[in-house]
Structure 1
Amino acid sequence: MNFWERVTGSDLTRQWKAFEARAAALPADYQQVWEQVKGHLFPFGDFSGRNLTPIADAALALLEEASADGQGVDEVFGDDVGGFCTALAGGQGARTYRDRWREQLNRNVARKLSRLGG
């Protein structure tokens, strides 16, 4: 990956298109779970989402292997896809982008208030 690809994000676009092509080859119930996985993982992404590509790749590989082995989706993910994704992204209590933005906003407000008060 060169600098230009990193700045424009074209490498990420290429990776996600490859993920979607792989997911399209899965059975319908696996594709539904893939959509849920993406929805549950995105809040754990950083600004660019680069930190999610290895996690999404691993989740998709798990779906592909389970499908090839003839396992049901429930056997692999259970009935809590969100909990599974939270565990993949860093465990219970993992910080989301909302948490990071909230902390940054609170720090900025506290700093401005301390300037006004002092």
Structure 2
Amino acid sequence: MNFLDKITGNDMKREMKEFEARAKVLPSEYQAAWKEITSNLWMYSDFTGRNLIPILDSALELLEVTSADGQSVEEVLGNDIKGFCAALVGDEGAKSYRDKWRNQLNKNIARKLGGDLK
């Protein structure tokens, strides 16, 4: 990956297009699950989203393997895809970017007001 691709995000665009091409060959219920997984995982991304690329790749590979085995989406992911995504990023209590920003804002306000927020 060259510097310009990293700055512009072209490397991520290419990888996401590859993911979408791989997802298009999946059965329709798996395609719907993939869309839901991608939409739920983005809230756990860092500023660039590069931390999610290996996670998205693993999730898509799981869908590919299980669809080839003939399993249903519910057997693989269960009924709670949001919980599945939280587990993928590391912890059931994983914080989203909103939680991180809210915590930082609360700390800044507390510091300005002279209090100490932990």
TM-score (norm: length of structure 2): 0.91
List gaps (5 residues or longer) in structure 2.
Answer: none
- Equivalent residue number for residue 60 of structure 1: 60
Aligned identity (percent) is: 56
**After TM superposition, where is structure 1 displaced by more than 4 Å over at least 4 residues in a row?**
none
C-alpha distance in 2 between matches for 1:108 and 1:13 = 35
Larger % of helix: which? Answer: 1
Does 1:106 find its partner at 2:106?
yes
Superposed CA offset, 1:46-99 (max 9, x none): 111111111111000000001111111111111111111110011111111011
Secondary structure, counterpart of 1:63 in structure 2: helix
C-alpha distance in 2 between matches for 1:93 and 1:78 = 18
Does 1:12 find its partner at 2:12?
yes
- Equivalent residue number for residue 39 of structure 2: 39
TM-score (norm: length of structure 1): 0.91
The size of the alignment, in residue pairs, is 114
C-alpha distance in 2 between matches for 1:42 and 1:6 = 18
Letter in 1 for 2:18: A
List gaps (5 residues or longer) in structure 1.
Answer: none
Letter in 2 for 1:34: W
C-alpha distance in 2 between matches for 1:20 and 1:77 = 19
